[in-house]
């Protein structure tokens, strides 16, 4: 099983790339954000520590952590953000490692793709076999975010400013997928790369 990390800036099209890969290849896809949300559910490892840290004001009427309320409770408070990250990030990493091992033990999956916004920052390069950077020109990403998420220019600029630069993404990753243009071109790049892996494994 080949383990590949996927990263890239907001609006680069990581979800579309992963959806294509999952639909065409014998691949397991795991999103770190989905893991983090799962671990914050009632009864899961991060639920009580997060509520203890931020207070019951972040809960909805159903007792579930409300993401918007949680974000508001952390906003502008660096110490709270650091405390929450110290709770969630190690738990997410443990869960991911367990999932990877489970897939290895089954021995039925050719590829395991892990997507995480902080793939580089959280040193997931120590876990994966290869890191892919999903690239799209900034003007393309901005247009996509305006259309798909109805984000304002100010919000987009704020998000981009908090992410790694293109230079740092490229330095950290061994392969770049250019997803700036038509997705048909992106698929050709992916198919060529995946074909190399599959041919290598058959030798």
Contacts of 75 (CB under 8 A, 6+ apart): none
**105 lies in a domain?**
no
| Separation CA 30–CA 37 (nearest Å) | 13
**51 lies in a domain?**
yes
Report how far apart the first and last C-alpha atoms of the chain are (Å, whole number): 15
144 lies in the same domain as 188? yes
**60 lies in a domain?**
yes
What pLDDT does residue 201 have?
Answer: 64
116 lies in the same domain as 196? yes
Q: Which residues constitute the domain of residue 58?
A: 35-96
12 lies in the same domain as 69? no
pLDDT in tens, 133-192: 999 999 999 999 999 999 999 999 999 998 999 999 999 999 999 999 999 999 999 999
**203 pLDDT above the threshold of 60:** no
**125 pLDDT above the threshold of 80:** yes
76 lies in the same domain as 146? no
Tell me the CATH number at 172. 3.40.50.300
Residues in the chain: 203
What pLDDT does residue 128 have?
Answer: 95
| Separation CA 119–CA 89 (nearest Å) | 11
**8 lies in a domain?**
yes
| Separation CA 180–CA 203 (nearest Å) | 34
- Mean of pLDDT values over 40-45: 96
18 lies in the same domain as 114? yes
17 lies in the same domain as 114? yes
187 lies in the same domain as 150? yes
What's phi and psi for 3, nearest 5 deg? -105, 120
What pLDDT does residue 96 have?
Answer: 95
| Separation CA 98–CA 15 (nearest Å) | 23
19 lies in the same domain as 116? yes
**133 lies in a domain?**
yes
The domain total for the chain is 2
Last residue of a domain, one of 51, 69, 96: 96
pLDDT class of 56 with cuts at 50, 70, 90: very high
Last residue of a domain, one of 66, 96, 126: 96
pLDDT class of 122 with cuts at 50, 70, 90: confident
**101 lies in a domain?**
no
21 lies in the same domain as 114? yes
122 lies in the same domain as 171? yes
68 lies in the same domain as 167? no
What pLDDT does residue 202 have?
Answer: 58
Contacts of 51 (CB under 8 A, 6+ apart): 58, 59, 65
pLDDT in tens, 77-100: 889 999 999 999 999 999 999 999
115 lies in the same domain as 74? no
Give the up-direction half-sphere exposure of residue 26: CA atoms within 13 A in the CB hemisphere.
Answer: 10
Longest dimension (CA), the chain: 58
- Mean of pLDDT values over 4-26: 95
| Separation CA 106–CA 40 (nearest Å) | 27
**158 lies in a domain?**
yes
pLDDT in tens, 182-198: 999 999 999 999 998 88
Q: How much is the mean pLDDT over the chain?
A: 93
CA angle in degrees (0–180, nearest 5) for 107-115-190: 75
What's phi and psi for 172, nearest 5 deg? -85, -20
**102 lies in a domain?**
no
Dihedral sign, Cα of residue 33, residue 71, residue 172, residue 146: positive
What pLDDT does residue 198 have?
Answer: 82
């Amino acid at each position: 099983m080949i383990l590949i990390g996927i990263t890239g800036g907001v609006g680069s099209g990581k979800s579309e790339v992963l959806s294509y890969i999952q639909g065409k290849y014998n691949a397991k896809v795991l999103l770190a954000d989905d893991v983090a949300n799962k671990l914050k559910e009632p009864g899961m490892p991060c639920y009580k520590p997060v509520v203890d840290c931020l207070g019951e004001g972040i809960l909805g009427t159903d007792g579930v952590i409300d993401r918007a309320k949680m974000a508001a409770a952390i906003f502008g408070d660096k110490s709270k953000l650091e405390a929450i990250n110290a709770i969630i990030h190690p738990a997410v990493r443990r869960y991911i490692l367990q999932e990877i091992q489970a897939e290895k033990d089954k021995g039925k999956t050719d590829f395991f793709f892990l997507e995480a916004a902080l793939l580089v920052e959280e040193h997931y390069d120590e876990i994966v076999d290869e890191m892919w950077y999903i690239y799209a020109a900034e003007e393309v990403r901005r247009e996509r975010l305006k259309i798909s998420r109805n984000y304002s220019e100010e919000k987009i600029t704020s998000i981009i400013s908090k992410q790694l630069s293109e230079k740092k993404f490229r330095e950290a990753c061994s392969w770049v997928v250019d997803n700036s243009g038509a997705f048909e071109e992106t698929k050709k790049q992916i198919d060529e790369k995946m074909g190399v892996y599959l041919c290598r494994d058959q030798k």
